[in-house]
């Protein structure tokens, strides 16, 4: 079937590779890069972005669920891949068969992976996750040491890494992240004092990469910044040479483009779109665009967003419809 949509998401892989290289230039040379390509590379296309990330110098890839890792393997990607969201019991077989690493936060899963790895005559690659304050996934700091011992002494398990995840590295209270780092280091110190060797250590997401150099450790896990989707750092004084100098240098990877399909003159006081949520405050020139919430443009943005037409900003007006929305182009000359 021929493609005729005038609405497209345009992905610039050159900008994506630029962002990867920029991240690499910001951190120490011995710090590895895990490019996070979960959720179809944040909607940018997992396969092309994964290949571009590796070609630009990423050491490995991070995905959210096992299906994403299998998709990368089936498209010829042989680099290390970490399934960061863990697995369910029925996924252990495919995880090991496709040589995927996995974040583990359950003793039962360690047993399960050991049994399946033994059955396949392979070794399951494990990253133990510690919950230091996210309140989501991870072992508590109290039982982590026991889990580390259990993993290391098992011949069918390989402890590749230890990780945690920050809840507030992009907020204006650095104390929260520093407290999480303190808990993480305490767990790691307990492991060292027990005579156990530390594997790959990683905890820095995009925000921590820019704002907390002390969190880089052996590897960082940038996600949003690779796609140019980044909120300006809230506390750049934490690492001014990184946060302030680098923010403007990240490039947006996606542009969402469409075309105007109709233009109408509406008198002052005209109600527009469903629910009469917008009334023109002047005689207005209103354009219709062929995209809406079926394309992912959430209705929550109704009357709260802008588009760019001929390099000028045009506000969206009225309720966003399923496959159409309205914009006010009154102040833009020559619109067609």
Q: Which residues are catalytic?
A: 38, 274
Distance CA 130, CA 280 (A): 54
**Which uninterrupted H or E stretch holds 108?**
helix 107-120
- For 249, counting Cβ atoms within 10 Å of its Cβ (0-12 exposed, 13-18 middle, 19+ buried), the class is exposed
For residues 11 and 41, give the distance between their C-alpha atoms in angstroms, rounded to a whole number: 11
The token duo for 311 is: 């390099």
Identify the CA nearest to 272 among candidates 318, 228, 239: 318
Q: Which one, of 4, 7, 2, lies nearest residue 294 by Cα?
A: 7
If one counts every other C-beta atom within 10 angstroms of the C-beta of residue 47, the result is: 16
Q: How many CB atoms lie within 10 A of CB 91?
A: 20
Residue 324 phi/psi, 5-degree rounding, is -150, 160
């Amino acid at each position: 079937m021929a493609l005729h949509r005038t609405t497209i998401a345009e992905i610039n892989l050159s900008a994506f590779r630029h962002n990867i290289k920029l991240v690499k230039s910001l951190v120490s040379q011995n710090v590895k890069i895990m490019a996070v390509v979960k959720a179809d590379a944040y909607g940018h296309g997992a396969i092309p972005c994964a290949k571009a990330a590796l070609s630009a110098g990423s050491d490995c890839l991070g995905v959210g669920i096992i299906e994403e890792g299998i998709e990368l393997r089936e498209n010829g990607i042989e680099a290390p891949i970490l399934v960061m969201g863990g697995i369910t019991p029925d996924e252990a077989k495919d995880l090991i068969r496709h040589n995927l690493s996995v974040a583990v936060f359950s003793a039962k899963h360690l047993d399960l992976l050991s049994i399946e790895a033994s059955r396949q005559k392979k070794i399951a690659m494990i990253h133990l996750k510690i919950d230091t304050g996210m309140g989501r996934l991870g072992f508590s700091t109290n039982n982590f040491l026991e889990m580390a011992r259990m993993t290391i002494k098992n011949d069918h398990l390989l402890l590749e890494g230890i990780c945690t995840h920050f809840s507030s590295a992009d907020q204006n209270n650095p104390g929260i992240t520093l407290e999480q780092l303190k808990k993480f280091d305490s767990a790691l110190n307990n492991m060292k004092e027990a005579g156990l060797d530390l594997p790959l250590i990683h905890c820095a997401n995009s925000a921590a990469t820019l704002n907390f150099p002390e969190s880089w450790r052996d590897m960082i896990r940038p996600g949003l910044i690779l796609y140019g989707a980044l909120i300006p750092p809230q506390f750049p004084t934490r690492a001014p040479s990184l946060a302030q100098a680098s923010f403007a240098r990240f490039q947006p990877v996606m542009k969402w483009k469409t075309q105007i399909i109709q233009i109408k003159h509406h008198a002052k006081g005209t109600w527009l779109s469903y629910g009469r949520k917008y009334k023109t405050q002047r005689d207005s020139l209103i354009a219709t665009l062929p995209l809406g919430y079926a394309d992912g443009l959430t209705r929550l943005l109704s009357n709260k967003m802008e588009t760019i037409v001929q390099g000028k900003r045009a506000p969206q007006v009225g309720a966003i419809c399923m496959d159409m929305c309205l914009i006010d182009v009154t102040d833009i000359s020559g619109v067609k």
